[in-house]
Amino acid sequence: MAHGVLGVGLVPHPPIMCREVGGHETRHLTKTLSAMDELARWILQLAPDRVVVISPHGPTVPGTVPILDNERASGDLSMFGAPEVHVDGPIDRIFVHQLQGEATRHALSAKAIRDERFARRLDHGSVIPLHFFPIDCPWVMIGYPDLDRDELAAFGRVINETAESLRLRVLVLVSGDLSHSLSPDAPAGYEPRGKVFDEALVQKLDDHDIDGLFDLPHDLVAQARQCGFNPLLVGLGAIRHRDFSIKRLSYEGPFGVGYAVASMSVRLDPCAIARQAAIQYIEQGEKLRTPPFMPAWMQCSAGVFVTFKKQGELRGCIGTVSPVKNQVVDEIIENAVSAAMRDPRFAPIDREELPNLSCSVDILKEPEVISSLDDLDPQRFGVIVSKGKRRGLLLPNLPGIRQALEQVQVACRKAGIDPNDRDIRLERFEVTRYEEE
């Protein structure tokens, strides 16, 4: 689905990173600040409906995951001499309660806490990400997740399941610094293995080695004197089971503390995009914006057919033989809306039907002219028949179409062409087909 956790951002939270606190000292954080700017642009493209912030300096309840259950939350950096760095926003309590319920259903310990003091004084691990990324949507604030590694991953997946069930596009911000012991003047004192931990974690992000991150030695993690590892595992758990990419934007440790910035983007498959485009148009009357971070092949141009079926029966199918849009992804969006709303053979799809629909997307390869039926194989090739301005198309591998002659006859009937006419132009084409499971 095109709902759920669509992105995870790993962000550091040193107050000195804010110019209101660090002043001239921010010159030592050039890489980090540049990466935060890039991450802000990424978030703007992602356009989340909700943001989940996981802060290791929030409430801590041994053996569980605390989730703030207040109507609003606010905080500033007054304890660091910068009260003007202030954030305030609403909490999505429906999300909070459903998240707690889903966690319980999965035998995970999560506790919704109503704490007016904390809600009025968010910790700096929450304030700083929200200050750098002023996202105009409700928040879900999570404190330190005190679970074992498998449970952290499972809780991340529960965040995604909650977002999907509420049909929300969610961004998870993992607030956490790496080792606090990189140098003799580091806040937690010097520990040689701190550098080993940071290098291992950064390398595994670069290698997309998620299993390797979960398998980092426990003693190494403990000796690194870090605060971001558990929150990161929750964030990774939210997208681990999906197709996603990681882009490390920076790493540096100028004050004896490791600061890493990274974006992790879920790749949406063609069917998810088509379904979301139809849903958004049916429910809101709005066209889906082009999703960010599409793979290169979806940024090329090609003809596309989108098909919706209801309990196995055709409910709508519209496509383009030659591309109308510059990108495949936009071709999918346009044709998904047309298949749902403008197929002349059917009434427009209504919202009550959406749960019972299945979707498939065919990406067409370039057609080639053929001279006879012998060049057709209905299982492998689609066919285009044309005469004058009339043109008919039939996709390959359709139920009940086994013979080339039958395939051509059906395509001719669709175009209003006499199948016995000797003056018919035949073309064949192959497709790459995507179907929902």
Model pLDDT for residues 74-128, shown as the tens digit of each residue: 999 999 999 999 999 999 999 999 999 999 999 999 999 998 887 789 999 999 9
Using DSSP's 3-state secondary structure scheme, residue 250 falls into strand
Please indicate, yes or no, whether residues 301 and 278 belong to a single structural domain of this protein. Answer: yes
Query: What is d(CA 95, CA 28) in angstroms, rounded to the nearest whole number?
Result: 39
For residue 388, the enclosing domain spans 366-431
Please indicate, yes or no, whether residues 301 and 383 belong to a single structural domain of this protein. Answer: no
pLDDT higher for 246 or 421? 246
CATH number, domain with residue 410? 3.30.1490.150
For the four alpha carbons of 379, 380, 384 and 385, in that order, the dihedral sign comes to: negative
User: What is the per-residue pLDDT across 349-405, written as a single tens digit (0 to 9) for each?
Assistant: 998 998 899 999 999 999 999 989 999 999 999 999 999 989 999 999 998 899 999
User: What is the per-residue pLDDT across 396-424, written as a single tens digit (0 to 9) for each?
Assistant: 999 889 999 999 999 999 899 998 888 89
**In 46-146, which ranges are E strands?**
50-54, 65-68, 72-77, 82-90, 110-113, 139-142
Domain boundary residue, one of 332, 364, 396: 364
CATH number, domain with residue 285? 3.30.700.20
Would you say residue 277 lies in a domain?
A: yes
Query: Per-residue pLDDT for 328 more than 70?
Result: yes
Tokens of 121: 């004084």
Domain boundary residue, one of 364, 385, 412: 364
Give the orientation angle of helix 93-105 with respect to helix 149-165, to 10 degrees: 130
Please indicate, yes or no, whether residues 49 and 188 belong to a single structural domain of this protein. Answer: yes
Would you say residue 436 lies in a domain?
A: no
Q: What is the H or E stretch that residue 370 is in? A: strand 368-370
Could you give the C-alpha distances from 305 to 361, 382, 394, 406, 433, in angstroms and in order? 6, 12, 10, 21, 9
Would you say residue 437 lies in a domain?
A: no
Q: Residue 425 pairs with which residues in a beta bridge?
A: 386
Q: Are strands 139-142 and 50-54 parallel, antiparallel or unpaired?
A: parallel
Amino acid at 341: M
Number of folded domains in the chain? 3
Please indicate, yes or no, whether residues 68 and 182 belong to a single structural domain of this protein. Answer: yes
Domain boundary residue, one of 266, 292, 326: 266
Per-residue pLDDT band for 1 (boundaries 50, 70, 90) equals very low
Would you say residue 377 lies in a domain?
A: yes
Please indicate, yes or no, whether residues 188 and 102 belong to a single structural domain of this protein. Answer: yes
Please indicate, yes or no, whether residues 55 and 79 belong to a single structural domain of this protein. Answer: yes
Query: Per-residue pLDDT for 437 more than 80?
Result: no
Query: What is d(CA 382, CA 360) in angstroms, rounded to the nearest whole number?
Result: 15
Please indicate, yes or no, whether residues 189 and 275 belong to a single structural domain of this protein. Answer: no
Please indicate, yes or no, whether residues 228 and 342 belong to a single structural domain of this protein. Answer: no
Looking from the CA of 114 toward its CB, the CA atoms found within 13 Å total: 4
Please indicate, yes or no, whether residues 180 and 52 belong to a single structural domain of this protein. Answer: yes
**How many residues would you count in the chain?**
437
Please indicate, yes or no, whether residues 248 and 158 belong to a single structural domain of this protein. Answer: yes
CATH number, domain with residue 95? 3.40.830.10
pTM attached to this predicted model: 0.76
Please indicate, yes or no, whether residues 300 and 410 belong to a single structural domain of this protein. Answer: no
Please indicate, yes or no, whether residues 371 and 354 belong to a single structural domain of this protein. Answer: no
